[in-house]
Amino acid sequence: MNDDEKIFSKHKEEVLDNLEALKVNLQQCEDIGMEDIDDTVYNQILDLEDDVKMADSKIEILEIIDRAKIIENKIEYFYETKGISSIELGWPTFE
């Protein structure tokens, strides 16, 4: 595996870790009153995990990150409405 492939693989793992964190945060939000009707948001996260595993380009990963950030913002907004502060996730960048 060359350096670029190692970096790409590392970034995929970082995204998967962040998606797992989003699932935990979503569960915490649901525990304090957020509604995820029909598990819509949870299922979106699962779909993103599948997409990451199948991704084979930087562009695909960056698109997944953009979609995941939308979910992250929804969760952060809910936390803010409850007066709870949260820590922004660190998403990988390709430079």
Instruction: Say what the pLDDT of residue 62 is.
Output: 96
Residue boundaries of the structural domains of the chain: 3-81
24-33, pLDDT tens digit by residue?
999 999 999 9
CB contact at 8 A, 87 and 77: no
Running DSSP on this structure, what letter comes out for residue 89?
Answer: P
CA distance 22 to 59: 21
Check residue 6 and give its pLDDT: 93
pLDDT in tens, 43-91: 999 999 999 999 999 999 999 999 999 999 999 999 999 999 888 899 9
Q: How many CB atoms lie within 10 A of CB 42?
A: 16
Residue 95 has pLDDT above 80, yes or no: no
Residue 16 has pLDDT above 90, yes or no: yes
